[in-house]
Amino acid sequence: MLAYDNAYSEFTFGDYVAPSIFEVADIKKDAVIEFHSLSKTFCMTGDRIGFAVGHADAVRGLGKAKENIDSGVPVYIQKTAEIALRSYRDSRKPKEVQAVADEYSKRADALVSALNAIGLRANKPKGTFYVWVNIKHTRMGCMEFAKKAIVEGVAITPGTAFGEYGHGYMRFAVTQPTDRIKEAVERLGKIVSG
């Protein structure tokens, strides 16, 4: 069984549409389940609600496991999620979701521009509220860079937190307003130039 986390699928920039695992031509569709998160898409983070799609047997199996783990999502959260999902009228994102994606896009633009200005190599992603940055040329490891960033009052995630292939990278979030992002990067400039 392949479990595909597509929680950030609605936070894409421009005309880019995040693919579903079910778009992979030769995937064995009865052995796949795809997860989505209203917690992310509709900024319902504390409500912890999402949904899964897939072959009926896979979804049924998930339901059996879930019913033995907890007692379910409170009804008021389910009703809120229903209203959120009904805001989809066609293939376009609802205006509320699009507004959040547009804001993340602006923040990502600001972050990437500021990071490149201080000498870090950054490219804007096609979506999500994260920007991955290669720091190998700084000759610092991820943990060293993260520790120095903390001293400057900036919290960023070392790529190694995501496994061995994250070595030499940092993951930045664009969840703060643009002015705070620019201030954070200015502080990081001391580390890069330093």
Task: For each of the domains in the chain, give its residue range(s) and CATH number, in order of start.
Answer: 2-86 (3.40.640.10), 95-193 (3.90.1150.10)
More confident residue, 91 or 13: 13
Tokens of 156: 């960023």
Please list, in sequence order, all residues whose beta carbon lies within 8 angstroms of the beta carbon of residue 144, skipping any fewer than 6 positions away.
none
Going by the DSSP 8-state scheme, the letter that residue 188 receives in this structure is: H
Q: How far apart are CA 125 and CA 131, in angstroms?
A: 6
Average pLDDT over residues 103-124: 97
pLDDT band at 70 (very low <50, low <70, confident <90, very high): confident
Q: How far apart are CA 87 and CA 93, in angstroms?
A: 9
Q: What is the pTM of this model?
A: 0.89
* CB-CB contact of 60 with 49 (8 Å): no
Tokens of 82: 């229903």
Mean pLDDT of the chain, nearest integer: 94
Percent of the chain clearing pLDDT 70 (strictly above): 100
pLDDT band at 109 (very low <50, low <70, confident <90, very high): very high
Nearest in space to 182 (alpha carbons), one of 128, 115, 132, 103 = 115
More confident residue, 39 or 105: 105
Residue 23 has pLDDT above 80, yes or no: yes
Count of positions (residues) in the chain: 194
Q: How far apart are CA 104 and CA 31, in angstroms?
A: 33
Q: How far apart are CA 9 and CA 42, in angstroms?
A: 12
Nearest in space to 51 (alpha carbons), one of 89, 108, 109, 7 = 7
Average pLDDT over residues 80-103: 95
